[in-house]
Amino acid sequence: MSSEHKTLATGFKKLMELDNETFVAWVDDQRAELDALFFGAMSRSWEDFVDAENKKTEETAKNRVAKRRDRLRHWHEDDTTNERFIFSHDLATSSWMKNIYASEHLKHQRAQQDQQDNFSFLASAYTKMNRELSRPCGVFDSGATTKWKLDRTEGRNRMRLRLLPDRTGPIYDYQPKRRITDASANGSIRINTKQPLQQLNDLGSTPISAHPATNFDGSPQPETLFSLQNETNVDNDGNAIPEEEFELVEGPNDPGDGEDMYEDKNRKVMRSLQRGDQVQQVFNISRIIGLEAGEGLLIIGKDSLYLIDNVFQRSDGEIVHVSQAPPEERDPYLQMIAGPPPPKGEPKNSTQPSRADQESRSWKWNDVISISKRRFLFRDVAIEVFFTDGRSYLLTANLPQVRDDLFAKLSHKAPHTNGSSNLPNPEDAWRLESLRVTEEAPATFGSKFGSIFNSSAWNPAMRRWARGEISNFHYLMLVNTMAGRTFNDLTQYPVFPWILADYTSEELDLNNPASYRDLSKPMGAQHNSRANDFVERYKTFADMGDSNLPAFHYGTHYSSAMIVTSYLIRLQPFVKSFLLLQGGNFDHADRMFYSIQKAWQSASKDNMTDVRELIPEFFYLPEFLSNHNGFNFGTRQSDGGSVDSVALPPWAKGDPKIFIAKHREALESPYVSKHLHQWIDLIFGSKQRGEAAVESVNVFHHLSYHGATNLDDIPDEEDRKRTISIIHNFGQTPYQVFSRPHQPRDERNRPRRLDTSAEALTRLPFPLFESNERVVSLVYSPKLDRLLCATAFELNLPPQFDKVFKWGFADCSVRFYFSESKKLAGLFENLHQGQLSCAIFASSQMLITAGEDCVLSAHTIVTSQSKPVELQPRASLFGHKTPVTTLAVSKSFSTLLSASLDGTVILWDLNRLEFVRKLTSGRQVECAKINDVTGDILICRGQKVSLFTLNGETILEQNVCPEHHDDYISACAWYEGTGNEWLENTLLFTGHRRGIVNVWRKVVGVKGWKLELAKRLNHGDGGGNEGTALGGGKSGAGDAAISCITPMPQMLYTGDEDGRVYNVKGDEMKI
């Protein structure tokens, strides 16, 4: 120990014995030495000790942490393994559950769809059954008033004659437009577009979104509102059955419904296919009906053609409801026409799809008879498809290229549309002939028509018309068809001329040129003073030199949707179209079409904004002149008269049928035939455009002509909408069919037919043949060049006539035999309860049978030449209370007539196999026929003949056997010519029990229609003389009763109860 340390130790010991203050004072005195001791030698040892201890602690801690980390790592790995296993299990379980749920949910949704479809089908079936039970001749005939609509079926010369019961929806109390002071009273009857669909399904949707407030010449336009945007469920052809009031499953693809309402649209489309058919191609199309445009799908199948409404195929192949289709993929022009979608506040069920909303239609390819390219809004995007049942559809695509592809595909599937020689059923050749148009590429549409249908004499249609082989009416319809005019689009409706100028005389003199209008001038130039005003207007516009508005004579048009609907305002479905144009009410009574004379004066003289022409119905459809449905059109302010049926000229004697007959006679008169080509030049030909049109005072607004503007080149959407509205509403000038002056008609070469030479009929002295059995049918087969005779209980099967249908066997069966070999071609039992009472072939594919059970049955015939026959049941028709004894068919109008023992006569629709109307009742009907050209119905009871129109209006009833009380009519027939020519006289034939055939003319007498005897022919050898209406001739009292009469264009075949068949020929000399 050093001395210093010793000193400190000694001092420390002393201090231990002292008090604290002394110790503290000592420490302070020895501060330097103490610091040196403690911070020197002693601290170093301590630090070494501390470092050693710290190292031990750190090593221990590291070992402990490492062990803990190992333990945690093992725990984490175990947890991760467990979590991965649990996650994998949960994922697999969830996926399995989702797959099961999706599968079962899809099954559930499909079951719901099936349930809904079945419920809809059952509801529709029960509705139809209820309608069938409560209709006339039904079990529970309610006696309710029937409303009528014009059927789409076209007959000969493309005439749409038939009215059908209007079963499309509730009956509306349509009201006339009131004065402004009556606005409050009228407000309650305006259409509320926010009502549920069930209340609006009778109105349709307007395809108009805008309309100019004035005409192009600045004159006021009649009040027309185009704001109605409600949806439609109405199908004009009557196939769609309206939705009844029952709960429906929500729309599967409606926005906001969630995935729970998924609907398999592909499945719904596939279920629409016929059994065994396959989809080959699908096109998005729109169906044009009047003013409406309904989108849907056209499906080209292996065996059939399908149209399905309100579904859309997206670019990814998915099929959705049209309301869910991407806007950029839909046709923008149709969207512009249809207007904006309903606001968000619109009730959901106003756009709810219904069964009728998604109606499916199908036709076998053999039923497609013609396919023609058409235009819509002056765009080459449309085709028109015609079917053998007389119906047609106008379809549009969104692009010309799509249209051309669709046309090529359809033409390939239905090659017989190119010519009658390829038709599966030659019996349909007459329908194709009235539609045949040479097709062309879109770019040369007008030029090819102009070069094909020009003034050269080699043109078949023009040459036939010039020779008088086809009527003026038929030729005008053919020209309208060539020009793209169609009944399916009210903006392109067929155009016919005003013919007469005399609507005031008591008797119409068709030999006086003053009775006719000037066909060389348009309606605006019928009077020189008005023509001068239009010429001045043209000069005024020309002097303005506005390149965007070329000069024109007329600010209105001669054909537009408003003109067509105003003419046909008394018929559905045109009432609905008119209401769409008028905002839900009829126009003011003074502006309605209520008088033929007033309409003529307005269009030809009085009204500078009225230059309208006529429509085809003025020449064949008397029903459009009568207010059969009892609409309230209001009272005229001008004279206080009410507007009901159209006021007719005095020479019509108050009978629309007489007016139509006289008007048609005027159309076919020598004067009109001589000058009709001049009117064709104005509307369809060389004077439609250019300098010839200016010289003829025949220039309309430039937007009414094709090629004036290209809608696709208009960049501004609002400008495009305005242009579309003008084209759609103002009127569209037909395509220029003829580029050179039209050939006139040569009246000198008109052929002489039976209708003009009935007095020259002469029976050949010897029968053609004798079958020794009652002759019930005589049919001439051009292909076989043979006259085929059928005796009792048998019929020859058209069109090949290689088989015979027979009935009356003891086992109540019906059988088919081959005509040549007499071998059995088919045997069928239990068609009826008991024996057949009568049968008739409605066509080569449909057999109608009637039995002792008072039921009519329709059967589809499946056969081909030299092949057996298969009968497939289609429908049973109920209405008769006694067995049916007489059947008659009009194939052109798809109408069946049945008459039973109690005298009840019923008309049936063969297209839909439904009841149309009860025609009459009385004593038993011996025979009946339907005129396949005019639709007139001939019914013979005892000694009386009754004539009716196709729509049940009585024409006449007359006793044609006044001389012999024991005589009666046993056979009857119409003379129909070839179907396309004009018959100057309507002839009908009656065969009598006394062996006489009488030839009658239907003429207008002092009190209306009557039958005038033209010729009396003895059938057998009981006298052997023929007599005229004046000479009479001897009656063959001992001859057998006439049982069959078959008129031909130039001759007549007759058969009697003894089996003798005679040929009666007429004079074939030219006039």
CATH of 265-436, one of 2.30.29.30, 2.60.120.10, 3.60.10.10, 3.40.50.150: 2.30.29.30
Q: What is the pLDDT of residue 45?
A: 79
Evaluate if residue 1037 carries a pLDDT over 60.
no
Residue 658 confidence (pLDDT): 94
Evaluate if residue 734 carries a pLDDT over 70. yes
How far is residue 1023's CA from residue 1026's CA, in Å, rounded to a whole number? 9
State what percent of residues in the chain have pLDDT above 70. 82
Find the Cα–Cα–Cα–Cα dihedral 671, 673, 676, 678, rounded to 10°: -80
Angle at 111 between CA 109 and CA 113, to 5 degrees: 70
| Beta bridge partners of residue 770, listed in sequence order | 1060
Average pLDDT over residues 729-755: 84
pTM of the full structure: 0.81
- Long-range CB pairs of 433-439 (<8 Å, 24+ gap) are 433/980, 434/156, 434/157, 434/158, 434/474, 434/477, 434/478, 434/481, 434/980, 435/158, 435/369, 435/370, 435/372, 435/386, 435/481, 436/370, 437/372, 437/481, 437/482, 439/372, 439/373, 439/407
Predicted confidence band at 293 (pLDDT cuts at 50, 70, 90)? Answer: confident
According to CATH, what is the number of the domain 758-767+774-1063?
2.130.10.10
Task: Quickly state the pLDDT bin for 970 (edges 50, 70, 90).
Answer: very high
> b/e string for 1042-1059 if b means 16 or more Cβ within 10 A?
bbbbbbbebbbbbbbbbb
pLDDT of 227:
31
Q: With cut-offs at 50, 70 and 90, classify the pLDDT of residue 680.
A: very high
Classified as helix, coil or strand, 1036 is coil
Lookup result for tokens 């994998």: 88
| Weakest mean pLDDT among 75-84, 202-211, 262-271, 1028-1037 | 202-211
Is it the case that residue 79 has pLDDT exceeding 50? Answer: yes
In which band, very low, low, confident or very high, does the pLDDT at 936 lie, cut at 50, 70 and 90? Answer: very high
The size of the chain, in residues, is 1071
Q: Which residue has the tokens 């096109």?
A: 283
What would the mean pLDDT of 699-704 be, rounded to a whole number? 90
Q: What are 110-131's pLDDT values in tens digits?
A: 788 778 777 877 887 888 888 8
Greatest distance between any 2 Cα atoms in the chain: 191
Residue 448 CA, chain-centre distance (Å), reads 29
Q: Enter the tokens of residue 535.
A: 């010429």
- Is the pLDDT at 1018 greater than 70? The verdict is yes
Other Cβ atoms closer than 10 A to 693: 21
Q: Give the three-state DSSP class for 172.
A: coil
The confidence score (pLDDT) of residue 191 equals 33
pLDDT category at 181 given cuts 50, 70, 90 is very low
- Identify the pLDDT of residue 173: 58
Mean pLDDT score across all residues of the chain: 81
Asked if residue 704 lies in contact with residue 688, where contact means CB atoms within 8 angstroms, the answer is no
Instruction: Quote the CA–CA distance of 632 and 179 in Å, as a whole number.
Output: 15
Confidence of residue 248 (pLDDT cuts 50, 70, 90): very low
Contact call for residues 492 and 485 (beta carbons, < 8 A): yes
- Asked whether 266 and 296 are in contact (CB, 8 A), the reply is no
pLDDT band at 595, cuts 50/70/90? Answer: very high
Q: What local confidence, expressed as pLDDT, does residue 7 receive?
A: 74
What type of residue sits at position 48? D
Orientation angle between helical segments 20-29 and 3-16, nearest 10 degrees: 160
CA 427 to chain centre: 23
Measured distance CA(318)–CA(102) in Å, rounded? 19
Residue 1068 has a pLDDT of: 52
Which amino acid would we find at residue 961?
C
105-119, 169-183, 521-535, 954-968: the lowest-pLDDT one: 169-183
> What's the mean pLDDT in 418-447?
59
pLDDT, residue 198, reads 35
* More confident: 563 or 220: 563
Kindly provide the residue ranges of all beta strands, DSSP E only, lying in 1-157, ordered along the sequence: 148-150
The distance of Cα 859 from the centroid of its chain, to the nearest Å, equals 25
Model confidence at 614, pLDDT cuts 50, 70, 90, reads very high
**pLDDT value of residue 276:** 84
Give exposure, 336-351, as e/b (b: 16+ Cβ within 10 Å).
bbbbeebeeeeeeebb
Instruction: Please tell me which residue, 710 or 801, carries the higher pLDDT value.
Output: 801
Burial 808-840 (b: 16+ CB within 10 A, else e): eeeebbbbbbbeeeeeebbebeebbeebbbbbb
Q: Residue 597: what pLDDT?
A: 94
743 neighbors 466 (Cβ within 8 angstroms):
yes
pLDDT of 346 above 60: no
Task: Provide the residue ranges of all domains of the chain, joining segments of one domain with +.
Answer: 3-134, 265-436, 445-748, 758-767+774-1063
- Residue reference for tokens 């629709």: 909
pLDDT at position 214: 41
At 246, the pLDDT band (50, 70, 90 cuts) reads very low
Round to whole Å and give the CA distance between 930 and 490: 30
Separation in Å, CA 632 to CA 122, 145, 345, 643 = 36, 16, 33, 8
Token readout for 990 is 């009656």
pLDDT tens per residue, range 482-506: 999 999 999 999 999 999 999 999 9
Q: Give the residue from 658, 620, 625 showing the smallest Cα distance to 643.
A: 625
Q: Say what the pLDDT of residue 21 is.
A: 78
pLDDT: is 1047 or 255 the higher one?
Answer: 1047
Of 11, 36, 42, nearest to 26 (Cα)?
A: 11
Lowest mean pLDDT among 75-89, 248-262, 551-565, 718-732: 248-262
Superfamily of domain 445-748: BEACH domain (1.10.1540.10)
- Residue 446: per-residue pLDDT: 42
- In tens, the pLDDT along 903-915 reads 999 999 999 999 9
The terminus-to-terminus CA distance of the chain in angstroms comes to 173
